[in-house]
Structures are given as structure tokens and as C-alpha cells.
Amino acid sequence: MISKDVQKAVGFLNRGEVVAIPTETVYGLAGNIFDKKAIDSIYAIKKRPRNNPLIVHINNVEKLSSVASEIPDIAHKLAAHFWPGPLTLLLKKQVNIPDYITAGKPTVAVRVPDHPIAIQLLADLDFPLAAPSANPFGRISPTTVEQVDSYFSNEIKMVLDGGRCKKGLESTIVGFEGEDVIVYRLGSISREDIERVIGKKTLLVNKEENSPKAPGMLLKHYAPKTKMYLVDNVNTAIQTIDKERVGLLLFKEPIENPKIAHKIVLSSAGDLEEAAYQLYEAMQTLDKMNLDYIIAERFPAFGIGNTINDKLERASVQ
């Protein structure tokens, strides 16, 4: 069921059900963090590995201390600058935060989403929500209610309709070790933006298969069913095409070639933010076209372009 009724979603969540909710990044599968049955349902519905922790969502920064036990000054500075928004902080957890949320780790990932419906929903609940992306594990994250419904129409009670997500990429996840600020997942806020706020360089530690500290660290993720190849030079890659139905995923320059069955240009203006917003929608569209494979163009390696490349790398054939 797709509905704009926030109170209906409140009722389902209070009864331990899983509800898909909007955020500014992507839609999430939400459940009460203190209800193990609800969290078990999230993992089961997504087919998500249990060693992959979840993000806790709260509605304001004042609630951070109820989730995290140690909050460095630099974390407070980042929260003051970016919250509500697509920044997740990885912090030492409070004793009441269940291990099944954090995959048994001593840290918890937490953020305040920048979406009025998500904020209203969280304000009307007596508990925070876990809300990993509302897609089967490893598949393309959804940015519209229709995409969520196509994944889980028979498995969840409700999709709370908040329109299309305005960012279109997951939150950036940042943690702290001593004096180091570590980016565990590239997301909608670039490393450069974070470094401007903290006044120093970050470290990037964003790949871990066996025991990831944060979501989004696994090597294969965000992928279409159709095979996708990430290339530095699309024109060179086109010369090797040996199939009839090949799609292109391009940054700003359209490429005309009779070998191409379909192409999508993410931003004719060359705007990386627009490209990020369009990325998952374009991948969803190409995935439905019964293509033999997709050729994706590598993006400029700065700002949000690094995030787009990271998503494409994890979605592509290695």
C-alpha cells in the first residue's frame, strides 16, 4: 500500500511492522530499533547479511546522546553543520542500543534525515528507526515509491509517499579514531565539503567484506540485474561491442553510434549534483530494457563525482 498518511505509518511501526519511508537520500525500510522482530524482518525482507550494521535515524541533534555514548567535539561540529542532512556519524554506542542493530560492534551509525515527512514521523514515535535502503540486498537503491513497491509490494504493509528523493544517493558515513576523521562510505556529501568544515584531510576506508564497520562497504552493491561495465573511455569501449542490445550511461556528452540500443545522459549541463540525483533512476530505467549489458562512463574524480564512481564500481562487473 502506498500512502501519504503519516499516522498510518506510525500505527504500523508501533505494532512492530516494517514501513518504507522517504528520506532526502533514498527510501528506507524502517523499523523500531528496540523491536528485534521488526529488525529481523528488515534483514529478512532485504536478504541483508547480518554482519552488515544498520543506521539509526533520529529527528534532532538533541537526541544524539541517547544513542551515542562518546561524541567527539569534531562530531558535534559536523552535526551542527550538516544535520538535518545526508551525513551519518559512526560513534561509540549507548549501552541500550541493541547488538542486532550494530552487528555486534561497539559503534552505532546515526543521522538526522533532511525530509519533512521523515522528521514528522520520527517526532511522532517514541523510538528511533533503523532504515536501510528499501531494496533487496545488492540491488539499486530506490528513489521513488514506485521503485520500492516494485521490490516489496507483497512483503511490507506500507510505503510512506514522500515524493522523489532530492539527493538520490546514500548518506556519507564518517567515523573517528583518535585525531583521524575516517570516511567509511562515500555519499551525498563530498569529502571536500567535510574537510572544509573540519579544517583537515579525511581518511578513506570504505571497503570491507568480512566485518564492515558501516553500511555500504561491501565490494558488490547498488547493482542492476543487467551486467554493467565501468570504463574510462566510452568510445573505445564501443568498438569492442559484440552484442545487439547495449546501453550507455553517460555524464554529459551524448554519443551517437548505431551499435547503441539506448543511452541516458545524466546531466547535459555537466552538473555533478544533477548527475547524482539522476543516477539510480537511470540505472533502474536501463535495467528494465532487456539489454545485453550496460557501459557506464567514469566520472570526474572530484567532489560528488568520486561518490558516483564508487557506486558505479560496486555495481559493475569487476
User: Is the model's pLDDT at 299 over the cut of 90?
Assistant: yes
Answer yes or no: is 221 within a domain.
no
Please give the residue range of the domain that contains residue 175.
2-204
Distance CA 160, CA 207 (A): 32
Q: Does one domain contain both 126 and 245?
A: no
User: Is the model's pLDDT at 318 over the cut of 80?
Assistant: no
**What pLDDT, on the 0 to 100 scale, is given for residue 209?**
76
Q: Does one domain contain both 26 and 64?
A: yes
User: Is the model's pLDDT at 297 over the cut of 90?
Assistant: yes
User: Is the model's pLDDT at 76 over the cut of 90?
Assistant: yes
Which range is least confidently modeled, 11-20, 35-44, 123-132, 146-155?
Answer: 146-155
Contact (CB, 8 A) for 56 and 49: no
User: Is the model's pLDDT at 278 over the cut of 70?
Assistant: yes
User: Is the model's pLDDT at 199 over the cut of 90?
Assistant: yes
CATH number, domain of 287, equals 3.40.50.11030
Answer yes or no: is 137 within a domain.
yes
Q: Does one domain contain both 275 and 141?
A: no
Q: Does one domain contain both 133 and 249?
A: no
With a CB cutoff of 8 Å and minimum separation 6, the contacts of 195 are 201, 202
Q: Does one domain contain both 66 and 171?
A: yes
Mean pLDDT of 236-244: 85
**What pLDDT, on the 0 to 100 scale, is given for residue 181?**
97
Mean pLDDT of 267-275: 96
Q: Does one domain contain both 65 and 97?
A: yes
CATH number, domain of 91, equals 3.90.870.10
- Secondary structure letter of residue 234 according to DSSP: H
Answer yes or no: is 215 within a domain.
no
Q: Give the number of domains in the chain.
A: 2
- Secondary structure letter of residue 140 according to DSSP: P
Q: Does one domain contain both 9 and 43?
A: yes
Distance CA 56, CA 58 (A): 7
Q: Does one domain contain both 48 and 104?
A: yes
Q: How confident is the model at residue 49 (pLDDT cuts 50, 70, 90)?
A: very high
Answer yes or no: is 222 within a domain.
no
Q: Does one domain contain both 143 and 40?
A: yes
The candidate with the shortest Cα–Cα distance to 223, out of 279, 185, 183, is 279
Of 172, 204, 236, the one marking the end of a domain is: 204
Q: Does one domain contain both 150 and 234?
A: no
Name the pTM for this structure.
0.95
Answer yes or no: is 214 within a domain.
no
Answer yes or no: is 216 within a domain.
no
Mean pLDDT of 189-208: 95
The candidate with the shortest Cα–Cα distance to 2, out of 162, 165, 158, is 158
Q: Does one domain contain both 58 and 154?
A: yes
Q: Does one domain contain both 173 and 280?
A: no
Answer yes or no: is 223 within a domain.
no
The candidate with the shortest Cα–Cα distance to 297, out of 236, 243, 244, is 236
Considering the chain, what is the average pLDDT of its residues?
95
Mean pLDDT of 293-299: 95
